[in-house]
Each structure stands twice: as C-alpha cells, then as structure tokens.
Amino acid sequence: MQRCSRARLIPSMAEVPFIVIGGYLGAGKTTLINKILGADHGQRVGVLVNDFGDINIDAKLIQGRDEPLISLTNGCVCCRLGNELGSGIETLLNVAPTLDALLIETSGVAYPAKIAAYGNTWPGLSPGGTLVMADASRIQSLCSDKFVGRLVVEQLRQADQVLVTKLEKGFDWETLRHWFSTQSPSARVSPSEEFACQDVFEIRGSNRHPENAPDVMFETRSFVTYDPLHPDEVTRWLTGLPPEVERIKGVFYNAHDPEHQWVIQGVGLQRTISAGKAWGKSPKQTEVVLIWPAGLTPRIPDGILGGSNRQNSRS
C-alpha cells in the first residue's frame, strides 16, 4: 500500500498511541468518551465509534458532519466505524495534522486485548494502554454469572488500568480495591472520581496478548415504530422486561414532547427514560435494542413495542 503521509514514512515520528477503552455492557464507556471529546486536554485525539448516535457530543463542539469524519472544535476527530476496523484506523491515521492519540471504545462483549493487538502490528500505530471500566454495583456478581462471568473476568485480567464507576455512598472502597487486585493483579485501579480525562493518555500497555478465551454469544432484538408513544406506557414496558435482558438502548418518539428525542437506557434492572436532543432533521421514530446472553429465553412483553418491527441476531 502506498503511503502518502510524510509522517507515515518515518516510523519514529509517525507512531500514534492506540488506546483501548473496554468493559462490560453499561459500565460507562460512552460517558467517558464524551468527557474526553469535550475536554480541553491539549491533545489532538481520534476516536473510533461504532455508531455516532451513541456519542452524545454537545452540538456546539461539532464543526462539521461530513461522514465518516466529524471534526470537533477542540481538535478532536470522531470516525464513524462500520464493520471494518482497519479502514477506520487508516482514515484517522491519514488526517492532518497528525493525531496525538487514537482511542477506540470496544463493544461491551469484546476482549480488549484482541483489539489492543492492532497497536502492535498496524503501521503507524504504537501500543498504548488498555482501560477497562467496571460498574461497582454489578462487577462482582457479573464475574460469578454462569453466562457472562468468564468474559467479564477476562476483560479485567486484560486491563492495564481499571476505572471503577458508579461508586455509591457507603461502598467499602478498600475492600473493593483489594478484590480488584485479585482480578487484575498487574493493573492500576482507581475510582472514576479520581480520574481526569488527560489521565487516559498516560496509561501504558503491558503488551499482553489475548489468550484462547471463549467467545460469549449474545442475542439481540430491535424494535422500530414511527408512532408517537406515551412515556408512561414506555416506562411500563421497560419495567416489564425480564431481568435476563442485560442492556437496553434506544430513543423514542414522545407524544408529549414531539420536538425532542427521549433516551431509553437500561443496565441490569436499572431502566430510565430522559429528555435528549432535538430531532432536527432526523426522522421521528422509536428505536430500541435489547441484549441478553445466548442460552436465555427472556419473555419480551408485547406491550407498546411488542407488535412493531423486530429483528433477531447473534453476536
């Protein structure tokens, strides 16, 4: 492949640290990415995202929306990532001026070391660190779960830094820190309240390689409708979803507030709806995705979305 960038011809000048942000579903990865993209950290950062709609960047930060790149006023760049990770990496490595770092938010069911391995082999990249986020309220039960436990344990084991989120008042932090040290003995562990955005650039990788960890399969179901919905009905439908549904994400067309998207979020048994950004030119519709470990057969209530278009898939 021909290299057209002068920096790419001189590896010592060209290498951009490749930083991986991982962790199980709902741990707070997108929230951290939002903070990094909006912060004044002095770094020119490229971020690979699977769906720009999941990254809720304040509109005042966005300079332009010419896909696949979205330029931000603080010098950061977002890249909409399709199915091809390599093409996203190449797109960001060839932006000018050169990036100071390249971040990727992995899927919540991915092994971080498999993604981090790109930093060891891809021309123009150097291995950065692997940050794994963990929800303090769920992480221990997840590690012992018979369906996803092996995945979550392996995610922690592959971390260079563990960032602990959702530490509620009353948590015994020292006991929890000790537990993390048994799961991630070589990683630094810190609560999210003590982690500044610029700290992500200081994480150093250990060059650990992914082992033959088994892939954990998940089922997904999506719902789409163009009808306006009443928030009380949406809340009842969410409450009726069984506990086997691990993650819920989406937006709905609120009959009481037709000018704004309303955001649906669910992690475990915590399910919320909240006001989001204006629809603008986006079509007004409800789109909700449910995720659960394969092997379970949750009964999805019919309710308001039960009769809408749906699609099953395995990942």
Residue 16 has pLDDT above 60, yes or no: yes
**Do residues 163 and 192 make contact, with C-beta atoms less than 8 angstroms apart?**
yes
Query: 149-157 and 173-183 helices cross at what angle (nearest 10)?
Result: 90
Average pLDDT over residues 196-211: 77
Instruction: Give the pLDDT band (50/70/90) at residue 311.
Output: very low
**Do residues 216 and 148 make contact, with C-beta atoms less than 8 angstroms apart?**
yes
- What pLDDT digit, counting tens, does each position of 143-190 carry? 998 888 999 999 999 999 999 999 988 788 999 999 999 999 989 999
**Do residues 161 and 203 make contact, with C-beta atoms less than 8 angstroms apart?**
yes
